[in-house]
Amino acid sequence: MWLAADANNSLKTTDFEPLRLVIVQHTVSSVCHRFIICAAELRTLQGYFLKNLKHDIPYNFIIGNDGRVYEGRGWSVIGAHTLGYNSCSMGLGFIGDYREELPAHAEVTPLMMERTQMLLKDGVARGVLHRDFKIVGAKDLRHSDSPGSNLYNAIRQLPYYDHENIFHGKNCEQIRAMFQD
C-alpha cells in the first residue's frame, strides 16, 4: 500500500502467541495528514532503518495522522522496536513526535485511537493477540521518551492499558511464565 521495499522478516513471534503485550512508540518524524505524505514518510523511515541499522522498519503496524493503519512488519513477525521484548510483543508506531514540550508536537486524534482499537480487535480475532492483552508505552519498559507525553496520555485511557506495569523488568520467558495455566 505504501510501496515498501522488500525486507527479510522471517523471524516469527509464534512461540509466544497469542501475544500478551502491545508496545506503543512514536516515530519522531514529521506528521502526515494525507495518504501520499504518510506513505512517503514511511518509505523515508524504512530507508533509514535499512541503510543505517540493516533491518526493516521496526514496528508491526504504524498509525498515520491521516487515521490509516499502515502495515510495517505485519502480524506474527518479530519487530525491532523494544530491546528485550521484540519476540513476545507487537510493536505499534505512531507517525510523528508526541512530546508535548515541543512547540509543534503531533496531536492524537479520535480517529487515530479508533483505528488503533480496530487493529487490536483484529489481532485478537486472528489469534495473534490474547483476548486479555495489555498495551504499554515503550517508556513503561525501558528508559525512553517514547511515545511522548501527548500519545502516552492517550494510550493510558484505553481499557487495556497496563496501569499495574506488570511487564517492566521482565524478559519474554518471564512474561510467558506469568501466564502459564
Mean pLDDT value across the chain: 92
Confidence of residue 24 (pLDDT cuts 50, 70, 90): very high
Q: Which amino acid appears at position 14 of this protein?
A: T
Give the Cα separation of 101 and 78 in Å (integer): 32
In the predicted model, is pLDDT for residue 117 greater than 80?
A: yes
Whether the predicted pLDDT of 166 surpasses 60: yes
3-class DSSP state for residue 77?
Answer: strand
Whether the pLDDT of residue 9 is over 80: the answer is: no
Taking the C-alpha atoms of residue 18 and residue 91, their distance in angstroms, rounded to an integer, is 14
What is the rounded average pLDDT of the residues 138-164? 96
Residue 82 to residue 24: CA distance in whole angstroms: 10
Kindly tell me if the per-residue pLDDT of 39 is higher than 50: yes
Domains contained in the chain, CATH given: 14-178 (3.40.80.10)
Residue showing cell 496520555: 153
Strands 69-71 and 61-63, how do they pair?
Answer: antiparallel
Q: How far apart are CA 158 and CA 113, in angstroms?
A: 9
Cα separation, 161 vs 12, whole angstroms: 24
Q: Which three-class secondary structure state does DSSP give residue 68?
A: coil
| Nearest to 134, CA basis, from 158, 116, 110 | 158
Give the tens place of pLDDT for each residue, 56-101.
899 999 999 999 999 999 999 999 999 999 999 999 999 999 998 8
Region 104-127 average pLDDT: 96
- pLDDT higher than threshold 70 for residue 1: no
- How far is residue 93's CA from residue 25's CA, in Å, rounded to a whole number? 5
Q: Is the pLDDT of residue 10 over 50?
A: yes
Whether the per-residue pLDDT at 167 is higher than 50: the answer is yes
Cell 525486507 sits on residue: 7
- Supply the DSSP symbol for 118: H
Q: Is it the case that residue 4 has pLDDT exceeding 80?
A: no
Assign 104 a pLDDT band (cuts: 50, 70, 90).
Answer: confident
